[in-house]
Amino acid sequence: MKRILVGIKRVVDYNVRIRVKPDGSGVLTDGVKMSVNPFDEIALEEALRIKERGAADEVVVVTVGPADCQPQLRTCLAMGADRALHVQTDTPLEPLATAGVLRTLIEREQPFLVLLGKQAIDDDNGQTGQMLAALWDRPQATFASKIELTEGKAQVTREVDAGLETLEVDLPAVVTVDLRLNEPRYVKLPDIMKAKKKPLDTLTLESLGITPRAQLKTLRYEPPAQRSKGVRVNDAAELLAALKHKGLL
C-alpha cells in the first residue's frame, strides 16, 4: 500500500480579523469561523492529485487537537482523503511534541510521503515538518511549489528568498508546501454526505505512549503597535513634495 500521510491543523479562518482579549490572556476565538489551515489544505490537495495520478493508493489525514477538530477532519474526508486519524488532546502541543506524535504514527502507517503545510496561520511557527524530518532521520523539502515523484525519489521545487531552488530527496521524506503548489478543490455536497461514512479513528496521547512536555510558557498576548493615521494627498506633485519634506527623496 503506497500511502501519503497529511497533517492538518484547525485554525481561525484567514478572513477573521484577530483581536487580543483585553486581559492579554489570548485572542478572541468565541464564535469565530474555524477552518483547515490553508497551507494544509494545499498539502491535502497535492496528496489527492498524486493519488489520482496513480502514484499513491491511500491518503490519510491526521490532526492533533481537541474534540472540536472533527469538522475539519470531515472536510478533509469530503475533499477526498480516504481516512482520518484524530489524536485527541485538550493540551495545546508545542511543535516538537506534535512532530513526536506524527513520528509515532509514521511507525504505524509507513507512508512513503508526508505532506504538511509550511506553517499554521495561527502560531506562525513553521516548525513541525522540519522537526518531524529530524526525528524521523529523513529528508525534508520545505516551501514546495512543485513536487515530481519518480521511483523512490522526489524532485521538489522550493520557494526560497533567492528565487526557486530544486532539491532531489530520497523517499520517504517530509515535504512542507507553499501557497503556489496548487489550488485546493471545492467540496461538493454529495462528497460531504459520503465523507460521513469514511473512517475517522480517535486516538489518545496515552495510547501512543506520549507524555508531552511543555518547554515554553506564554506570559501575555498584546495587540501590535498601531501605525498612526496618515494624510491624503491630492496628486502626484503633492505626494512628491510631502516625501521631499520628510527627507525621503
Partner 1 sequence: MNPNILIVAEHDGRTLSVATAKCVACATTVTDAAVTVVICAADATDLAQQAATLAGVGTVLTVEHPVHAHPLAAAIAAQIAALAAPYTHVFGPSSTFGKDLMPRIAALLKTVQVSDIMAVESATRFRRPIYAGNAVLTVEVLDGAQVVGTVRTASFQPVAGGGSAHIEAAAPVVEPPHHTRFVSVSAARSDRPDLQSAARVVSGGRALGSAENFQLLYGLADTLGAAVGASRAAVDAGYAPNELQVGQTGKIIAPELYLAIGISGAIQHLTGIKDARTIVAINKDPDAPIFEVADFGLVGDLFEIVPQLQKLLG
Ligand X SMILES: Cc1cc2nc3c(=O)[nH]c(=O)nc-3n(C[C@H](O)[C@H](O)[C@H](O)COP(=O)(O)OP(=O)(O)OC[C@H]3O[C@@H](n4cnc5c(N)ncnc54)[C@H](O)[C@@H]3O)c2cc1C
Query: What distance in Å separates the CA atoms of residue 3 and residue 128, rounded to the nearest whole number?
Result: 20
When CB distances are held under 5 to 8 angstroms depending on the partner's kind, the choice from partner 1, ligand X, none that residue 130 binds is: partner 1
Which residue's CB is nearer to partner 1, number 149 or number 179?
179
CA–CA–CA angle 9, 146, 69 (5° rounding) = 10
Smallest distance, partner 1 to C-beta of residue 150, A: 12
When CB distances are held under 5 to 8 angstroms depending on the partner's kind, the choice from ligand X, partner 1, none that residue 134 binds is: partner 1
Q: Note whether 126 binds ligand X by CB under 6 A.
A: no
Per DSSP, the three-state class of 41 is helix
For residue 54, count CB atoms less than 10 angstroms from its CB and return exposed for 0-12, middle for 13-18, buried for 19 or more. exposed
Query: What distance in Å separates the CA atoms of residue 237 and residue 227, rounded to the nearest whole number?
Result: 24
Smallest distance, partner 1 to C-beta of residue 77, A: 27
Query: What distance in Å separates the CA atoms of residue 121 and residue 200, rounded to the nearest whole number?
Result: 25
Question: Residues 10-29 vs ligand X: string with x where CB under 6 A?
Answer: ----x---------------
Query: Are 84 and 77 a contacting pair, CB within 8 Å?
Result: yes
Residues 170-189 binding ligand X (CB under 6 A) are 179
| Interface with ligand X (CB under 6 A), residue from 18, 27, 38, 66 | 38
When CB distances are held under 5 to 8 angstroms depending on the partner's kind, the choice from ligand X, partner 1, none that residue 114 binds is: none
Residues near ligand X (CB under 6 A): 14, 38, 121, 179
